[in-house]
Structures are given as structure tokens and as C-alpha cells.
Amino acid sequence: MKVLIAEDEHNIRQGLEDILNAEGYETVSAENGRIAIELYESEKPDFICLDIMMPEMNGYDVCRAIRDNNKDIPVIFISAKSEEVDKVLGLELGADDYILKPFGVKEVIARIRAVTRRYLQSQNVAIKEEISSFKMHELEVFPNELRARRGEKVVELSLRDTKILSFLFKNSGQAIDRDKLFNHCWGRNYLPSSRTLDQHISKLRKRVELNVSKPKIICTVHGFGYRFDP
């Protein structure tokens, strides 16, 4: 999924890019509203995060322009304007959520996941080939819901997590090369870093594995990559 981030403050923009990248989204970022519109037309993103107070063209106008074009694309406002009027106006323009600054990373992730879930479920037809759910031992994964379930326990998954799990599930029993996994789940544009993959896998294991020291779902193939054994 490609996300367009429109934010004039450089650091926040960078931070949001990092968060979204870590979640498994591709990002394109614009520093003002006009560029945001241009990027929307050129990059065709699946998801848009908008600041409201931006130079040249404010978030409301960008949202309006985009909504005229596409009624379904998810839009999230991320703004310091905490007045109800602003929220109401943003939501009435067709925004899917409104995140107030200062935001926590987890909040942003949670909200983006929520919006993504709704988007994926509404786009169910488009990604029909994908299985609505699959089982990896005791863990039942719902890729469209970005969730997994182990008995009663619900595990929140990121977009990337589901990608990794579904990639491993599709190639069950096969050892998957680290580069192959990386390219599939992170994209080719992403700068490869061995640590990034390993860190992410270890985080994911903590959530999905029953026993992290003896992983069953994501098994390590030493010197090569990872493997799921059904």
C-alpha cells in the first residue's frame, strides 16, 4: 500500500514516514498542499495522511480536491487544530479519521491500521484471490483485518506482519531467502539492512509465537532465511 503524507513540518513528516514504513506501507511525502495534489495524481496512492495547516493549499482543500476525484480513498487528518469545528469540518469533508497532535506512535499506528482494515474489507472484491484467513498451527491469521487470533487472544498485526506471514504461508515448508523475503515485504526501493529484517522478525515472533525461544511459525534457516513448517 502506498501512502501519501502531506505535512509541512519536516521532522513530523520524517517521523510519519518512518512509522508507516515500519508498518509496511510505501510512502510519498509532500511539504505542501499543491505538491500533495500533484503527487496524488502521479503516484496514485492508496492512503492519504493530511496536515491541515499547510502553505499554498490547506488540508481541507486538498481533501476536497481528492474527494472530487476518488470517493473511496482513505484520508486521515493529522493536525494540531483541536477545535471541534475543525474536526467536524475534516470529517464532513470525507476524512476517515482525525488524529490530534501531539500524537503517540501507537495511536497513529492503531488508527492507521483501523482505517486500513476498513479499506481492505471494502476492497474485498479487488483482492479476492487472497484468502480471507489461514491457519498457522494454533494461530489463525486474518490478513484483511490485520489481525491474528490464537484461541481467545487477538493479535494485532501490521500490514507488513501480515505480508510476512502470508508469504511464509504461501511457501510453507520452503526455506525463503532473506533477500527474497525482504524484497517482497519491504519493496525494492527500500534500502536493505540485515538488522531491519531480523529485528522485525524477532518482534513478530514475540507476538505470534507461543515460545519465542523455540519458534514454530517463523523458523530460522541458519545462514539462509526463514521457513514455515505446517
Partner 1 sequence: MITLGWFGVKSAQDQREIHKHRIIALITQNLARLDESISELVKSYERKLNTLDSMTDYSTSALRKVVRSIPVVHQLLILDQRGKRIFPSHVSFTRPEYEFIRRTKPFIETFLKGSRRGKNERRNHRRRKRKALRSPQTFGTKKSSDYRPRPYKKSNKRKVTTRENGNIRIEQHLYANSSQENKTSKLVRAKIAKQKIQRQPIRNKPTDTESRVLALNSSTSNTPQLKEKRPNAELKNFSTSADHNADDSPIIKYDTPNTRPKSATTAQQDKSTSEKKWIKKSRTRFEVMPPEHYNSSNKPARKPQSTIVINKQNNSKSQVIVANTQQQPLRSVDKNKEKNSRPHNTKEPMKRARERGNRDVPQAGQRNPESSSAGLNYSSPSPSASPTKLHQQKSLSHKNIRTQKLTSTSSVKPSLQPQTKESVFQDLRGWSIGFRKNGINLIFSFRKSDGYLIAAEISRTRLIADITLLSPISKSQTKNITQSRITLTNARGDIISQWGRYEPEKNSKPLVSYGLAVPLNSWKLNYFSAKIDLNNTYSYAPFALGVSAVFIAVFGLAFYFYRESNRELTVASQRVTFVNQVSHELKTPLTNIRMYAELLEEDLEDSNDRTRSRMQVIINESQRLSRMIINVLNFARHQRKQLTIIRSKRVVDDIIHHVLDQLRPALQRLNIEVEFKANASQEIDVDTDILEQILHNLISNVEKYAATGQYLGIESCIINDTIQLTLSDKGPGIPRAMIHKIFEAFYRGNNQLAEGVSGTGIGLSISRELARLHGGDLELVNSQQGITFKLTLDSKAKRK
Binding site for partner 1 (CB under 8 A): 9, 11-12, 15-16, 18-19, 22, 80-85, 87-88, 91, 100-107, 110, 199, 202-203
The helix-helix angle for 10-23 and 105-122 (nearest 10°) equals 60
Query: Cα(6)–Cα(149) distance, rounded to whole angstroms?
Result: 34
Which C-beta is closer to partner 1: that of 96 or that of 136?
Answer: 96
**SS3 call for 210:** coil
Which C-beta is closer to partner 1: that of 61 or that of 96?
Answer: 96
Work out how close the CB of 18 gets to partner 1 at its nearest, in angstroms, rounded to a whole number: 6
Query: Cα(157)–Cα(81) distance, rounded to whole angstroms?
Result: 30
Which C-beta is closer to partner 1: that of 109 or that of 219?
Answer: 109
Work out how close the CB of 17 gets to partner 1 at its nearest, in angstroms, rounded to a whole number: 11
Strands 153-156 and 147-150: antiparallel
Dihedral of the alpha carbons of 18, 19, 24, 27, in degrees to the nearest 10: -60
Cell, residue 20: 508507516
Work out how close the CB of 58 gets to partner 1 at its nearest, in angstroms, rounded to a whole number: 16
Which C-beta is closer to partner 1: that of 106 or that of 188?
Answer: 106
Cell, residue 168: 511464509
Which C-beta is closer to partner 1: that of 161 or that of 169?
Answer: 161
Query: Cα(193)–Cα(133) distance, rounded to whole angstroms?
Result: 30
Work out how close the CB of 69 gets to partner 1 at its nearest, in angstroms, rounded to a whole number: 25
Query: Cα(187)–Cα(196) distance, rounded to whole angstroms?
Result: 13
Work out how close the CB of 113 gets to partner 1 at its nearest, in angstroms, rounded to a whole number: 12
